[in-house]
Amino acid sequence: MREEKAKVWLAAALMGGLMASALPAMAQDVQVAAANPHSHDDVEEIVVTASPLGARQFDVLQGTSVLSGEALERSLSTTLGAALAKLPGMSQTGFGQGASRPIIRGQGGDRIRILSGGIGSIDASTTSPDHAPALDLATAKRVEVVRGPATLMYGSNAVGGVINVLDGRIPIAAPKDGVDGFARIGVGSNAHERSLAAGMDAKLDSPLVVHVDGFWRQTDNYKFPGALESDRLQAKELAQGQTDAEGQDGHKVPNSSLTQKGATGGLSYVGDWGFLGASVSRLESNYGVPPDAGSNDGGEDEGPVRIDLGQTRVDLMGEVNQPFLVFDTTRVRFGWADYKHTELEDGAPGTQFLNKGWEGRLELVQHQYGALSGAVGVQASQRDFQAIGEEAFLPPSKTVQVGGFTVQRLDFGPWALEGGLRLEQQNIKADSINYDRDFTMVSLSAGASYKLGDGWLAGVSLSRSERAPNAEELLSDGAHLATGTYELGDRKLGKETGLGGELTLKKTGGPVTGSANLFLTDYDKYIYERYTGEQRDGVPVAAFSATDARFWGFELEAAADLFRRQDQRVTLDAGLDYVRAEDTTTKTDLPRIPPLTFKTGLEYAQSSFSTRVEMVWADSQNKTSAFELPTDGYTLFNASLDWHPIADRDVTMLFEVRNITNEEVRLSTSFLKDRLPQPGRDFRMALKMGY
């Protein structure tokens, strides 16, 4: 324990030292930066996901991140989890190239909501870690992340946070020059990745604006350094007398290839009063479930498993900026999707997962009365889920959620107070087993902030959130081939309650910016999946259980301009995040928690190009649960160059090297960490043209 605390303080001191070392250079450049009309410090990010009131990122009390522009281009990957993993407080499930899902502050699955344009992804990704979210960042314009409880706006399944992918599939305004679009081609060396993407908005001879986009991506099996199995697992197997430990070096991960493609068409009616539009999209993906996901000491070798998924989706979105009654703005969002994926066993169709669902929300933004601003809204969703086949581990079920919420804010001088309330009803019904159960949830939040001047803000927020168990946690009972576990639910599970608090300190404007967030949440009847040590049908039992739990941690991030002259800038940035999670009933650690992580980067930018080098250091994770091995730490180095070869054209060439030193990386957050290393060195290149 003392060693862990020492590492935390040492890393914090290192981050502070990096920023302090920049002070002399920053002091010399303050006046120049203030005189520069192109200073990036003047940009105010509006985080639409965090509040219906259109709050600036600076004013949001929770931890938030926004990924767009060249930063988004550098982050593009085959999975959403990998693309967002370098953001503060973020990690990933690491389930291969096809299905790595994001984790926020150590929480994932059904505790974080993944949205497309403010509406859920409507897929099967929360059912199992080998199921990919049905969305892709290839055509996304922006990604917003809210860390911590977001239950007021997005329901009880957002107790851990929200990720909102804004892809512009429904135009909200007409292009300035009549047409606005892009095309991108990219390649990667590690898995022989090839990708294409393009999109366009065009104004017709009327108030109508049309949108089209599409993408295609294909990879081979990816390369990894070291051995397929971790040293710790090999040592354990040898101690148990097993001699088939997979210690071969420098190989490719079998059955880790993928093919992804998608297309969207949208149409909007845009006027001075707002807009109203619709879109239709189709997404398809075929990817391999990595080997040994289904391995077990006593199980039968079923051969390689691939997942072939497809989703057809229809979205409606509108916003009317016309006052009525006590409201100024009306926003409507609706999404319907038909999702299906098949687990292919040696190429033959096996278990199928089907999910037909819809979600809708209505937000009404109030007139501002003096210091008071606010909004009210309603949200409803339905999910009809089926698993069909010999290895279906879950009966068909229907889940219906209906909720209403309000968010209110008072601004007076440097002070701001905000609060909110949400009431929600959930029903889960499984007719085949005569199961029908209702849950009622109440969530509350309150916060206060004070602007200290010179771009500083301090704040505190408190929350009480309730989450009902989902169908998987209640009703699972069977072997799941793709994950190699026997998933066992508990029909008597009750709703979990979280009491949390967060302290925030932010700095914006000038040559130094940054934020610090310290959070703590205590859970009553926290639901999680744990290995029991038993086996059924030749595979380990993973049971959903409830216990009291505590999550606490922090995120520190800062950026400093070391040098700025005219259009040139040198920026140093650093971030440190940590989360600790334990079962407070048994005083033991919860499984699959990310370690202490430190990230730093140095960037040089001018009008024609920018270059960046960065380091990611992750500590070893020795705080493990029963039947879970510790995870070794790692240090990653990455480098990138963005070049704009034509001064008056929107053309960008991106050159990138990921994992320069070919480091062996294993993620403590992954079920497969001891059998599946992350990709090794990867040379990447992309060409993007805008018009």
What's the CATH code of the domain at 420?
Answer: 2.40.170.20
Check pLDDT > 90 for residue 403: yes
At 92, the amino acid letter reads Q
Check pLDDT > 60 for residue 15: no
The set of residues, in sequence order, having a beta carbon less than 8 Å from that of 3 and lying 6+ positions away, is: none
Which pLDDT tens digit goes with each residue over 206-217? Answer: 899 999 999 999
User: By percentage, how much of the chain surpasses pLDDT 70?
Assistant: 90
Determine the average pLDDT of the residues in 424-450.
Answer: 97
Which pLDDT tens digit goes with each residue over 454-463? Answer: 999 999 999 9
- Residue-number span of the structural domain to which 356 is assigned: 2-300+311-690
Q: Which residue has the higher pLDDT, 49 or 559?
A: 559
Check pLDDT > 70 for residue 268: yes
Which pLDDT tens digit goes with each residue over 97-116? Answer: 999 999 999 999 999 999 99
Check pLDDT > 70 for residue 576: yes
Q: If pLDDT is split at 50, 70 and 90, which confidence band does 538 have?
A: confident
Q: With 0-12 CB in 10 A as exposed, 13-18 as middle and 19+ as buried, what is 295?
A: middle
Q: Where are the alpha helices (DSSP H) in 428-564?
A: 471-475
Q: What is the pLDDT of residue 368?
A: 93
By C-alpha distance, which of 620, 496, 625, 501 is closest to 551?
A: 501
Q: What is the pLDDT of residue 243?
A: 60
Check pLDDT > 50 for residue 166: yes
Confidence (pTM) = 0.92
Cα angle at 482 between 481 and 483, to 5 degrees?
95
Check pLDDT > 50 for residue 517: yes
Q: What is the pLDDT of residue 26?
A: 43
The set of residues, in sequence order, having a beta carbon less than 8 Å from that of 325 and lying 6+ positions away, is: none
Check pLDDT > 60 for residue 532: yes
Check pLDDT > 50 for residue 652: yes
Q: What is the pLDDT of residue 647?
A: 85
Phi-psi map region of 354: left, alpha, beta (phi>0 left; psi -120 to 50 alpha)? beta
Determine the average pLDDT of the residues in 597-607.
Answer: 97
Check pLDDT > 90 for residue 303: no
Check pLDDT > 80 for residue 36: no
User: 444-474 in b/e burial notation, b at 16+ Cβ within 10 A?
Assistant: bbebbbebeeeeebebebebebbbbbbbbbb
Give 344's Cβ-side CA count (13 Å radius).
Answer: 13
Which pLDDT tens digit goes with each residue over 172-231? Answer: 999 988 999 999 999 999 999 999 999 999 999 889 999 999 999 999 999 999 999 999
Check pLDDT > 80 for residue 611: yes
Q: How far apart are CA 579 and CA 444, in angstroms?
A: 23
Determine the average pLDDT of the residues in 333-362.
Answer: 94
Q: What is the pLDDT of residue 573?
A: 97
- Which structure tokens are listed for 406? 């309000």
Does residue 208 lie within any of the structural domains? yes
Q: Which residue has the higher pLDDT, 600 or 391?
A: 600
32-39: list long-range contacts, CB under 8 Å, 24+ apart: 32/564, 32/565, 33/510, 33/511, 33/561, 33/564, 34/510, 36/564, 36/566, 38/567, 39/564
List Cα–Cα distances, 517 to 323, 553, 653, in angstroms: 37, 8, 35
Q: With 0-12 CB in 10 A as exposed, 13-18 as middle and 19+ as buried, what is 259?
A: middle
User: By percentage, how much of the chain surpasses pLDDT 90?
Assistant: 77
By C-alpha distance, which of 635, 640, 636 is closest to 612?
A: 640
Does residue 305 lie within any of the structural domains? no
Q: What is the pLDDT of residue 173?
A: 94
Check pLDDT > 90 for residue 244: no
Q: What is the pLDDT of residue 396?
A: 96
| Site of tokens 């440190």 | 576
Does residue 306 lie within any of the structural domains? no
| Site of tokens 């104004």 | 203
Q: What is the pLDDT of residue 12?
A: 56
Check pLDDT > 90 for residue 360: yes
Specify the number of domains making up the chain: 1
Check pLDDT > 60 for residue 3: no
Determine the average pLDDT of the residues in 610-623.
Answer: 97
User: 261-276 in b/e burial notation, b at 16+ Cβ within 10 A?
Assistant: bbebebbbbbeeebbb
Q: What is the pLDDT of residue 485?
A: 85
Which pLDDT tens digit goes with each residue over 147-157? Answer: 999 888 999 99
Asked whether 418 and 373 are in contact (CB, 8 A), the reply is: no
Asked whether 407 and 447 are in contact (CB, 8 A), the reply is: no
Q: If pLDDT is split at 50, 70 and 90, which confidence band does 31 have?
A: very low
Q: If pLDDT is split at 50, 70 and 90, which confidence band does 35 have?
A: very low
Q: How far apart are CA 144 and CA 112, in angstroms?
A: 13
Q: What is the pLDDT of residue 383?
A: 97
Q: Which residue has the higher pLDDT, 297 or 670?
A: 670
Check pLDDT > 70 for residue 551: yes
Check pLDDT > 60 for residue 162: yes
Chain centre distance of CA 479:
28
Q: How far apart are CA 394 and CA 388, in angstroms?
A: 9
Check pLDDT > 60 for residue 38: no
Q: What is the pLDDT of residue 298?
A: 40
Check pLDDT > 60 for residue 558: yes
| Site of tokens 């604006």 | 209
Asked whether 75 and 599 are in contact (CB, 8 A), the reply is: no
